[in-house]
A and B are shown apart, each in its own frame.
Chain A
Amino acid sequence: MKVPVSWLREFVDIPEALSGREVSDLLLGVGFEVEGVDTVGDVRGPLVVGRVKSVEELTDFKKPIRWCHVEVGAANGNADTPGIRGIVCGARNFAEGDLVVIALPGTTLPGDFTIATRETYGHVSDGMICSVRELGIGDEHDGILVLPAGSATPGDNAFPILGLGDEVMDLAVTPDRGYALSMRGMAREAAIAQGISFTDPGTQLAQLPEAGGSAVQAASDDYQACDLLVLRTLGNYNPAAPTPDFIKARLAAVGVRSISLAVDLTNYVMFELGQPLHAFDADKVTGTIRARRAKKGEVLETLDGVTRNLTPEDLVIADDARVLSLAGVMGGAYSEISDATTRVVLEAAHFNPTEIARMSRRHKLSSEASRRLERGVDRMLPPVSSARFAELLMAHGGATFEGTSGVEQAPNPIVIAFDPQLPGRIAGHSYDASNVEKILMSLGCVVDSSKSLWSVRIPSWRPDLAAAIDLVEEVIRIDGYENVPATVPTAPAGRGLTELQKLQRRAGLHLAGRGLVEVRNYPFVGVAEFDALGIPANDSRRHAVQLANALSDEQPLMRTTLLPGLTGALARNISRGFNDAALFEIASVSLLSADQSATGVTNPPRPSVLQRPSATDIAALEALLPEQPLHLGVLLTGALKPAALGVKQTPVTWSDAIDIALALGIELGVEIEVATGDYAPWHPGRCAALSINGEQIGYAGELAPRALENLGLPKRAVALELNLSALLAAANVVASAPAIWTFPVAKEDIALVVKADVVATDVMKVVRNAAGELLEDIRLFDVYEGSQVADGHKSLAFALRFRAQDRTLAAEEVAAARQAGVDAAAKAFGATLR
C-alpha cells in the first residue's frame, strides 16, 4: 500500500527529522516490507503561488501569446517591480485574478529543466506559470493549473499545497493485517514501533448537525453476511464542487484517480480510516436500501461497464426496484454519482469477509473495497467513517445533512483466555508480564490481568486476532524478533539417509562420472510429443494426468516418460553447436492406473482439519494420486568422448545405451537382464528390454529412425529409460560373501553355429544351465557371420571357466560338462559346434 508520509504524520507523531526511508525502516521492524520510497514530483527550488494581475495579449506572433503580470508575494518580486513578476505564457485557460503556481527562476522541474530569466517574444520572462503536467503531478493536458479562488495567498510556498516533495512509502501488507490498509492502521503501527501513544481517529465520531430531511432507510435480510449497514443521506450537494487539492494530491499519491468530490471523498475516507464506502445518487434510489441475496436471473451493470449475471450466492445492495451494487465489491452504473447528482446516500457496512472473497473470486473482480473487506474491516467503523464522509461533503460540497438510518446484529466481543507466560514459552525468551500487558494494550486490547489466566478483549479492528497464539505473535513481533535468542535444538539420534536415498545419489554420481550431463526438464508434455515419438494410440503412456490450467495448450499433460523432455534438451544443445551430447535426467513421472481418470475425480475427499484424518480418509486422499516413481532417462548422440589427438571418435551405438544400464546395475549391485525388446520409440530391431528377476524395468537401444526424423534429431541417437525406483529397490545393499574356491580353473572355448535370428543371451543361458555347477563363468567373446558359416547363420564363441569346490577337475569331468552345454544348445537352437 502507498502511504504518503505527510498523511501518516496527521495521525501519529513522527520526528520531523526522519526521512521517508527512516520511517519505512521503523515499519519494516514491525513487519511491513518496504517495496520503495518515492518522492512526489521531482521539483526543487522556489515554487510559489501567484495571482494573475494583468494579461496582455500579444498578437504579433504565429500563435497567440500572453504577457502577464503576476503577484508573487513581497519577497519574491523583482527589485524594480516589488511583489510582481512579468511572465510570458502560451496557455490561455486562466484569467486575471486567478491563483496559479509560479516557478521562479532557479526552480528545477521534472526532466531536470531549470527555469531562468530569459528574453522571449519581446519581453523579459521572469518565471513560468505551471501546468499539472510540467510539475509532474498529473497528465492533464488542459493548460495551466488554476488553484481554487481563496485557497492560498500569493507568495505561499506551493509545495505543501500540491503535495510536492512528500515522500510516499510503498509497503507490503500481509493478508492477515487488513487494518493496516489505511493511514489509521499504519499510524497505529508507527506509534507502536516508536513506543509512543496513539489517538485513534477510527474511534472519533464526528458531530453531525441535526437531521434536516428524510433519510433513506436501511435493512439487512442476511445478518450472517451483513451484520451492520449504516446510511447517511445528504442533500443540496453541488455536483460541480471541486475536490480540494490536498485531497486530490493524496489520492494521486496512493494511486487513485480523482472523479468527483463525492466519489473522491469515499476513497479518501477509505484510505484514511480503512472503511470502504459507497455513495449512491439518492434520487435514483426507490424505497429502502437493503443487503440481500441476489435472485436467480438478476443482472447488474457494474461501474466497469460489465453486465454481470447474479446468483443467490451473491450478496447485493438493492432498493425496492433493483440491484444497486455488488456488496463490498463494486457499485452499479445505474445509481452512480453523476454531474447531475444533488442528493447523496452513503452506504457503510460490515460484511462477512468470506462472502466478499467468494464474490470477488466468482466475478473475477478485485477492487480496493473488496481487498479490504475480504481481509476484515473494523466492525465499529461504519458509523464513524460515514460521519467523517458527511462532514467532508458538507464542508467541501455544500451538502446538508438529511439523516441517518442503520440496522445491525451485534456479535459478541471476542475474549481470549491468555497465559502471559505463553509468549516466553514460544519464543524461548522471557517477557515481563507488564511488558506483555503494555504491548497488548498498544494494539487496542482490553486486558484483565487480575487472574493468572488473563482475559484479553480483542479490539474491533483486529479480527485476525482469534486465538492465544495470535497474541503470542503480536507480543514477540512488537517486542522485536531481534530480541529472540538463538539456540540449536538437539535432535534425537538420526538414522541418516535411507539406503534408497543414498543409492539415488550414487546413481547420479555414477552417470555423471561416466561423462553424462544431468538436465532437469519441465514435466509438461503434449500429445504431439507422443505422436512424434511414435507411441501407439493404446499405449498406457498416453493415459496421462491432465492439467486444468496448463501454461501451454500444447503441453497440458504430466509426463509419463522422460523422453520428450530429453529430446527437447538435446535439440537445444545441438542447435547451439553441441553435436556430441550425452544427457541424463532423474525425475518422477506420473503414472495413472487404468481406472484412474486423467482429470481426477469430481467429489474429492475433504477431511476435517479439526482432527487427524482417519486411516480411511488418508487412504482416500492417496487414492487420488497417480503412482509417481522415479525414472532415469538417458539420451546420447554423436561421440561420448570428445575429439582428441590420437583418439578415434566413435559415435555411440545401441550397445552404449544398454551398457550404461548394465554398468549402473553393477554400481548398485543389481543384475539387470537383457532381452530382445520391441517398444516405441526404440528401433524394433535394436531395442533391449531390461528386467530384474523377471520384472520389466525399462528399455535401451537405438531410437527408431522415424521418431528421430520427426524430432529433428541426428540419426542413430540412442536412449535408455528405466524405472529407477524399481532398480534402487532391488539394489543388493547387504551382499552375502561368496565361497572362494581355490582349486585350479579349467578353461574351454566353444563356438556354436546357430541361425542368425537366435538371441545370444538365450544360447548363453541354455549353455550355462546345462553345464551345471562346475561352470564358474561364461562369456560371449565373438560373434561371426560370413563365409566360414552357412548363409543365414552366425557363430557365437563363448569362453567357459570350470572349477570345483573340493578337487582339481579331471579332464573327463570338464569335457562332460562342456558337452552337456553343447548338447543343450543343439537341442534348444539346433546349434552345431563349429
Chain B
Amino acid sequence: MSAPNKSFDPVEVTTLSAKALAGFVKDAVSAISAASNLDELKEVRLAHTGDRSPLSLANREIGALPPAAKAEAGKRMGESRGAVNEALAKRTAELEALRDAALLAEESVDVTIATGVRAQGGRHPLTTIQEQITDVFVALGYELAEGPEVESEWLNFDALNIAPDHPARTMQDTFFIGSEDSGIVLRTHTSPVQIRSMLTRELPIYVICPGRVFRTDELDSTHSPVFHQVEGLVVDKGITMADLKGTLNHFAQAMFGEGIVTRLRPSYFPFTEPSAEVDLQCFVCRGASVDNPDAPCRTCRSEGWIEWGGCGMVNPKVLVASGIDPEVYTGFAFGMGLERTLMFRHGITDMRDMVEGDVRFTRAFGLGV
C-alpha cells in the first residue's frame, strides 16, 4: 500500500472517479452474467471482487484521500460493490438452480421397475364378512357369541323345539357322530349358540353369532356340506316383531347401503313363532328392473327382492327350555347364509371358489378391513 497522498485532490484520483467505478461495475456485471457455470462464476468473482480486482485496488485509494473527500468516495465505492455483489448473488442462484435441475435429471430412474415387491396376502371373505357383520351389531351394543361345531343334539334340536321326529333330524340332512343315537351332531345351524347364550348369559341378551355349520349336501356350484351362517338373538322385556323388522332394516342398510329395506314373508321354523322369511330389497336395481325388460337385473333376476334368510319371534317353548319366563321376556332371532350373502354381494358364481383355497380368489379380497 502506498503512503497517504496528501498532495492530490480527490477528484484527481482517477480510479475513484464515478466514471471509473461505473466502468469497473459494468465490466464485473457483464463478466458475471457471462459465466455459464458455478466454476466460471467463481473465477469471475475472484477477478472482480478479489484483492487484485480493480474495485479493491480503487478502494485502497480511499485511505489516501483527505477526510472531506473520504465520505463521498466511500459511498460511491459501497454502491459499486453492492451492485457487483447483487449481480453475483443473482447469478449464483440461477446457476445453482441450473446445476440442481441437471443433477435431478441425471439421477432420474424408471420408477415403474418395481423392486422389493412384498408378497400379497389376503384374508378369506368368509372371515371378513363375519367381522363386518359382527361390527354392525357390536355398534348396536350386541356381543359376539360363539359355540362349538361338534355339538350335542339336545342343543342343536331338542332345545330349539325341533321334535325328535322332525325330518331335519334324519341322516339325510344331519351329520351324526358315531351313530344316529349318539346325541352328538355337527351343528346344522348356528341356532344352538342361541341356547348357549340363554343358558350362560345374564338377561337381557343381545348377541350376534356367526359360524360354520354342516349339512349332508354334496358340494356343487350352489351347495356345500360346510357353510356359514350368522345368527342374531335378542331376549329382553317388551321385544316385538317391530324391533325385529327395524333391526333387519338397519342390518341391510349397514351392509348394502342407505335406504335398503327388508321384507318379511310368513314362514315356519320350529324355534320361532311367528316366523318369517327375510327378503332383501335388491341393492343393485332397487326394484327398478321389475317388469322392465329393457333394464334386467342379474343380482335379483329382476324380481326386486333377494331371498336372504329366516327370522321370527323366539318361540316361548325355546325360552322355557332355557329357563327364561316367556311371560316376562320376549325375543327375536334371525339367521342368514354367509356364502349366499357373499355370492350376491360380490358376484361369486360358484360355491367351490370359496372352498378350494385358490390364492387368486382370496387375494382379490385383500385384508378385508
Pick the residue among B151, B186, B265 that contacts A31 (CB under 8 A): B265
Are A609 and B149 neighbours in the complex by a CB distance under 8 Å?
Answer: no
| Interface assignment of A626: CB less than 8 Å from any CB of chain B | yes
Considering only residues 303-331 of chain B, those with a C-beta below 8 Å from chain A are 313, 315-317, 320-324, 330
Give the chain A neighbours of B246 by CB distance below 8 A: 485-489
C-alpha spacing A586/B124, complex, angstroms? 10
Considering only residues 348-364 of chain B, those with a C-beta below 8 Å from chain A are 354-360, 362-363
A758–chain B nearest beta-carbon distance, Å: 34
Pick the residue among B131, B138, B249 that contacts A486 (CB under 8 A): B249
Are B171 and A590 neighbours in the complex by a CB distance under 8 Å?
Answer: no
Are A497 and B134 neighbours in the complex by a CB distance under 8 Å?
Answer: yes
| Interface assignment of B267: CB less than 8 Å from any CB of chain A | yes
Are A481 and B242 neighbours in the complex by a CB distance under 8 Å?
Answer: no
C-alpha spacing A586/B216, complex, angstroms? 23
Give the chain A neighbours of B183 by CB distance below 8 A: 600-601, 604-606, 624
| Interface assignment of A558: CB less than 8 Å from any CB of chain B | yes
Are B266 and A485 neighbours in the complex by a CB distance under 8 Å?
Answer: no
The number of inter-chain residue pairs (CB within 8 angstroms) is: 310
Give the chain A neighbours of B95 by CB distance below 8 A: none
Pick from B70-78, B96-104, B114-122 the stretch touching chain A.
B114-122
C-alpha spacing A10/B318, complex, angstroms? 41
Are A582 and B178 neighbours in the complex by a CB distance under 8 Å?
Answer: no
B199–chain A nearest beta-carbon distance, Å: 6
Are A517 and B182 neighbours in the complex by a CB distance under 8 Å?
Answer: no
Are A547 and B177 neighbours in the complex by a CB distance under 8 Å?
Answer: yes
| Interface assignment of A618: CB less than 8 Å from any CB of chain B | yes
Are A505 and B131 neighbours in the complex by a CB distance under 8 Å?
Answer: yes
Are A576 and B184 neighbours in the complex by a CB distance under 8 Å?
Answer: no
Least CB separation from A581: chain B residue: B359
Range of interface residues on B (Cβ < 8 Å): 35 or more
| Interface assignment of A551: CB less than 8 Å from any CB of chain B | yes
A666–chain B nearest beta-carbon distance, Å: 17
Given known contacts A472-B274, A599-B178, A625-B184, A491 and B142 CB-to-CB distance under 8 angstroms: yes
Least CB separation from B171: chain A residue: A549
Give the chain B neighbours of A519 by CB distance below 8 A: 124, 357, 362
Give the chain B neighbours of A572 by CB distance below 8 A: 356-358
C-alpha spacing A489/B142, complex, angstroms? 11
| Interface assignment of B29: CB less than 8 Å from any CB of chain A | no
| Interface assignment of B286: CB less than 8 Å from any CB of chain A | no
Give the chain B neighbours of A622 by CB distance below 8 A: 152
Give the chain B neighbours of A612 by CB distance below 8 A: 199, 321-324
| Interface assignment of A429: CB less than 8 Å from any CB of chain B | yes
Given known contacts A174-B267, A618-B199, A547 and B127 CB-to-CB distance under 8 angstroms: no
| Interface assignment of A470: CB less than 8 Å from any CB of chain B | yes
Pick from B30-38, B58-66, B82-90, B159-167 the stretch touching chain A.
B159-167
B101–chain A nearest beta-carbon distance, Å: 27
Given known contacts A515-B118, A558-B150, A610 and B320 CB-to-CB distance under 8 angstroms: yes
Given known contacts A489-B234, A588-B148, A512 and B121 CB-to-CB distance under 8 angstroms: yes
B251–chain A nearest beta-carbon distance, Å: 10
C-alpha spacing A547/B225, complex, angstroms? 13
C-alpha spacing A520/B122, complex, angstroms? 12
Give the chain B neighbours of A425 by CB distance below 8 A: 238, 240, 330
Give the chain B neighbours of A590 by CB distance below 8 A: 149-150
Give the chain B neighbours of A357 by CB distance below 8 A: 165, 167
C-alpha spacing A54/B321, complex, angstroms? 78
| Interface assignment of B239: CB less than 8 Å from any CB of chain A | yes
Give the chain B neighbours of A493 by CB distance below 8 A: 141
A359–chain B nearest beta-carbon distance, Å: 10
| Interface assignment of A203: CB less than 8 Å from any CB of chain B | no
Are A642 and B117 neighbours in the complex by a CB distance under 8 Å?
Answer: yes
| Interface assignment of A686: CB less than 8 Å from any CB of chain B | no
Contact with B along A582-612 (1 / 0, CB 8 A): 1100111010000001111110111101111
| Interface assignment of B126: CB less than 8 Å from any CB of chain A | yes
Are A358 and B165 neighbours in the complex by a CB distance under 8 Å?
Answer: yes
Considering only residues 121-164 of chain B, those with a C-beta below 8 Å from chain A are 121-124, 126-127, 131, 134, 138, 140-144, 148-155, 158-159, 161, 163
Pick the residue among B141, B206, B218, B247 that contacts A551 (CB under 8 A): B218
Least CB separation from B114: chain A residue: A644
A700–chain B nearest beta-carbon distance, Å: 18
Pick the residue among B114, B242, B263, B369 that contacts A429 (CB under 8 A): B242
Pick the residue among A467, A495, A573, A604 that contacts B359 (CB under 8 A): A573
Given known contacts A487-B246, A548-B176, A611-B320, A511 and B121 CB-to-CB distance under 8 angstroms: yes
C-alpha spacing A647/B238, complex, angstroms? 65
- Give how many A residues have a beta carbon under 8 Å from the other chain's beta carbons: 110
A610–chain B nearest beta-carbon distance, Å: 6
Pick the residue among B216, B226, B238, B363 that contacts A523 (CB under 8 A): B226
B245–chain A nearest beta-carbon distance, Å: 4
Pick the residue among B153, B184, B240 that contacts A428 (CB under 8 A): B240
| Interface assignment of A95: CB less than 8 Å from any CB of chain B | no
A568–chain B nearest beta-carbon distance, Å: 8
Considering only residues 456-493 of chain A, those with a C-beta below 8 Å from chain B are 467, 469-470, 472-473, 476-477, 481-482, 484-493
Give the chain B neighbours of A31 by CB distance below 8 A: 265-268
C-alpha spacing A31/B273, complex, angstroms? 13
Q: With a 10 A CB-CB cut-off, give which of B122, B123, B134, B315 has the most chain A CB atoms.
A: B123
C-alpha spacing A514/B123, complex, angstroms? 11
Are A569 and B356 neighbours in the complex by a CB distance under 8 Å?
Answer: yes
| Interface assignment of A628: CB less than 8 Å from any CB of chain B | yes
Are B120 and A515 neighbours in the complex by a CB distance under 8 Å?
Answer: yes
Considering only residues 602-647 of chain A, those with a C-beta below 8 Å from chain B are 602, 604-607, 609-613, 618, 621-622, 624-626, 628, 640-642, 644-647
Q: With a 10 A CB-CB cut-off, give which of B178, B180, B273, B354 has the most chain A CB atoms.
A: B178
Give the chain B neighbours of A550 by CB distance below 8 A: 175
C-alpha spacing A537/B307, complex, angstroms? 49
C-alpha spacing A646/B143, complex, angstroms? 49
C-alpha spacing A559/B168, complex, angstroms? 25
Give the chain B neighbours of A551 by CB distance below 8 A: 216, 218, 225
| Interface assignment of B204: CB less than 8 Å from any CB of chain A | yes
| Interface assignment of A196: CB less than 8 Å from any CB of chain B | no
| Interface assignment of A209: CB less than 8 Å from any CB of chain B | no
Are A508 and B142 neighbours in the complex by a CB distance under 8 Å?
Answer: no
Give the chain A neighbours of B263 by CB distance below 8 A: 482
C-alpha spacing A644/B112, complex, angstroms? 12
A172–chain B nearest beta-carbon distance, Å: 9
Give the chain A neighbours of B241 by CB distance below 8 A: 426-429, 476, 481, 484
Considering only residues 202-251 of chain B, those with a C-beta below 8 Å from chain A are 204, 206, 212, 216, 218, 225-226, 234, 236, 238-243, 245-247, 249-250
Are A513 and B121 neighbours in the complex by a CB distance under 8 Å?
Answer: yes
B256–chain A nearest beta-carbon distance, Å: 16
Pick the residue among A487, A605, A628 that contacts B148 (CB under 8 A): A628
Pick the residue among A606, A626, A647 that contacts B115 (CB under 8 A): A647
A209–chain B nearest beta-carbon distance, Å: 42
| Interface assignment of B179: CB less than 8 Å from any CB of chain A | yes
Are B265 and A481 neighbours in the complex by a CB distance under 8 Å?
Answer: yes
Least CB separation from A615: chain B residue: B199
| Interface assignment of B367: CB less than 8 Å from any CB of chain A | yes
| Interface assignment of A516: CB less than 8 Å from any CB of chain B | yes
| Interface assignment of B275: CB less than 8 Å from any CB of chain A | yes
Least CB separation from B183: chain A residue: A604
| Interface assignment of B280: CB less than 8 Å from any CB of chain A | no
| Interface assignment of B181: CB less than 8 Å from any CB of chain A | yes
Least CB separation from A606: chain B residue: B154
| Interface assignment of B264: CB less than 8 Å from any CB of chain A | yes
Are A174 and B268 neighbours in the complex by a CB distance under 8 Å?
Answer: yes
B191–chain A nearest beta-carbon distance, Å: 14
C-alpha spacing A572/B243, complex, angstroms? 46
| Interface assignment of A498: CB less than 8 Å from any CB of chain B | yes
Give the chain B neighbours of A354 by CB distance below 8 A: 163, 165
**Interchain Cβ contacts under 8 Å between A and B, 8 examples:** A491-B204, A497-B143, A547-B177, A548-B180, A550-B175, A572-B356, A590-B149, A612-B199
6 new A-B contacts at CB < 8 Å, known A487-B243, A609-B158: A488-B247, A494-B138, A514-B121, A548-B175, A621-B155, A624-B182
